[in-house]
Structure 1
């Protein structure tokens, strides 16, 4: 375990705790040691905001680097996202041949065990495929195949797999959902042509969330509710990309009313933080232009979103700041079963972001280490 940032320190402002807003000094070393007790209405007090650090469970890349590149890439990716307030993340792979996945996970072994200075904590791996529907690849390369518990266990021995995206309708995958959850992994449904009934069956067998809700899944119709209908009717968790390009604000708001703990992800690519041009997403060439990332045929291929912008977008479409904060931090921690991240409370990790009144980042702390912001 890294002990970076272990010296005692404190910062003062309007602090968002699990029980509401308080004003004063939050004290911490690697973990939070004391919190203020004076309640406050943050709208009537012009102090800065202190929120839990952002948690992103779907990160493919940033800074010109892609998780599938292997050695060295994840350090660039995790440092770039730390610059935007992400304090914890899951390194996300692409559907790919087993040799490519092995190479990517070997590069993640040491990073998952030890956080580098200036970098977000890499909690583990989000395996997005290859157990998805080949008819709903989205921007995934065409290496999809039926699930294999033996393959997952082999990869898990290389680096810790925390989350797997699969299509429940693919032969053998429904049975594997229960096996994976019994191993302590979270299962999300995505890249799927499954029916409403397939989704409900997967939830009953232990699946607990949906990957980039609405995108790359069967749509909802009033006579054929599809995978989206299963999510809206039954899910407690789902991830969504709030770049206002992948999902219309109205559809985001509909999801927030139906699913108690919708949490935000970036689905960020190597193009994040980079100028317009060509980049790699696994084995796919993607093009960044006009604020989006697409394949040559126009298919959306991840995003350039950062979590600080995700927070701003949620507030822009009408969420209160405390609600938006939960959706970029707390609910993702809840989904992974983490009680010591995603909330500002005594004995939780000192993962926090400091924002000005316009929600611009002033400071980022990861496990007590103050991150030097390049634009600061």
Structure 2
């Protein structure tokens, strides 16, 4: 048995004590004063990640996908989805097949298609050559295995509401994103079964007091809103506003990280498009659009706390809420007896000291 002592972040509270681990499982959380100054949090759960450490999820290369997962694991992400960008159907199918063994092994929690069923007006860094209307025929083929966990769709597109309902009925999370939808169209997507808002504010029609658009439509609905807490995609004040408005049960921190994360500034590729990273900010060479991030979940947590969000709420946004989105709340996302021993030991300034996944130190 292993005992890890410190200030333990549990749902809604921080308590002093020990997390007792037996094999791959949390045996018990024991309250005890003076257990240490380290901060112990559940392993981070990233719903939206394209790569990191020089490795990418976007090409369907299983070796590269394993490298990206290992990079983010060192930063405390014990559960993550491999996010593809808009691609031809053949690449989507081949990548899903290539990543299925990694899902079965537990390296990945599944696959997320960010596209190709997106708005051309709000495609951002997505490759416009590959955008198309939602296809249930394609989705039926792609979700034959349990690898696919989430699909981002613009709800105003022809056939989008049917596709969202199809995903819901087949246990796949539908996300509203990269959308020029009106408020009413966004709410129609929610009514059809959407469960997530993809990187809120980014890739969306901006709010207006006479046309609230998808941002307000999603914030005022039951969906979980993704927030990229890199202080680039969202000003800290906007991050705090969205987090407070949604609440920790309806907000999830994500990285939207690309292969350049953890690497030097330079030229990279995203979905067949050249990306230039300068001072850690990734932008498309062709139009200067922000192209993903170079964020890790530990930095996202620190930025969220620095923006004024209480630590227990920020941890819920980084772990508990996204685990629930994936249907994994009974396995991970919190420090509770019986759950997987996925945890991160942080210093008092919230810097990663050690990472444990399934009871084994990384």
Q: TM-score range by the shorter chain?
A: over 0.9
Q: Which moved more, 1:150-159 or 1:29-38?
A: 150-159
When residues 167 and 236 of structure 1 are mapped into structure 2, their CA distance, relative to the original with a 3 A threshold, is closer
Q: Distance in 2 between matches of 1:169 and 1:236?
A: 17
Q: Distance in 1 between matches of 2:164 and 2:122?
A: 19
Query: Does structure 1 residue 138 correspond to structure 2 residue 124?
Result: yes
Partner in structure 1 of residue 215 of structure 2: 228
User: 1:83-134, CA deviations, whole angstroms, 9 ceiling, x for partnerless residues?
Assistant: 100000000011011122122222201100003xxxxx41101111111112
Aligned partner of residue 12 in structure 1, secondary structure: strand
Runs of 4+ aligned residues of structure 1 deviating over 3 Å after TM superposition are: none
Partner in structure 1 of residue 115 of structure 2: 129
Cα pair 1:108 1:159 within 8 Å, conserved? no
Aligned partner of residue 155 in structure 2, secondary structure: coil
Q: Distance in 1 between matches of 2:110 and 2:312?
A: 27
Q: Which moved more, 1:68-77 or 1:162-171?
A: 68-77
Q: Distance in 2 between matches of 1:290 and 1:21?
A: 35
Q: How far did residue 67 of structure 1 move?
A: 0.9
Aligned partner of residue 144 in structure 2, secondary structure: helix
For residue 304 of structure 2, the aligned residue among 300, 314, 331 is 314
What do you get for the CA RMSD once the two structures are aligned?
1.5
List gaps (5 residues or longer) in structure 2.
none
Q: Which moved more, 1:269-278 or 1:98-107?
A: 98-107
For residue 242 of structure 2, the aligned residue among 247, 255, 272 is 255
Cα pair 2:257 2:293 within 8 Å, conserved? yes
Q: Distance in 1 between matches of 2:145 and 2:271?
A: 19
Q: How far did residue 19 of structure 1 move?
A: 5.8
Cα pair 2:197 2:223 within 8 Å, conserved? no
Q: Distance in 1 between matches of 2:140 and 2:91?
A: 16
Instruction: Trace 1:282-321 onto structure 2 (pairs within 5 A).
Output: 282-296=271-285, 297-321=287-311
Q: How far did residue 313 of structure 1 move?
A: 0.3
Query: Does structure 1 residue 98 correspond to structure 2 residue 89?
Result: yes
Partner in structure 2 of residue 35 of structure 1: 29
Q: Distance in 2 between matches of 1:359 and 1:99?
A: 42
Instruction: Trace 1:46-61 onto structure 2 (pairs within 5 A).
Output: 47-61=37-51
When residues 19 and 346 of structure 1 are mapped into structure 2, their CA distance, relative to the original with a 3 A threshold, is farther
List gaps (5 residues or longer) in structure 1.
1-7, 116-120, 372-376
Partner in structure 1 of residue 225 of structure 2: 238
Aligned partner of residue 228 in structure 1, secondary structure: helix
Cα pair 2:5 2:35 within 8 Å, conserved? no
Count of residues in Structure 1 that have an aligned counterpart in Structure 2: 355
Q: How far did residue 349 of structure 1 move?
A: 0.5
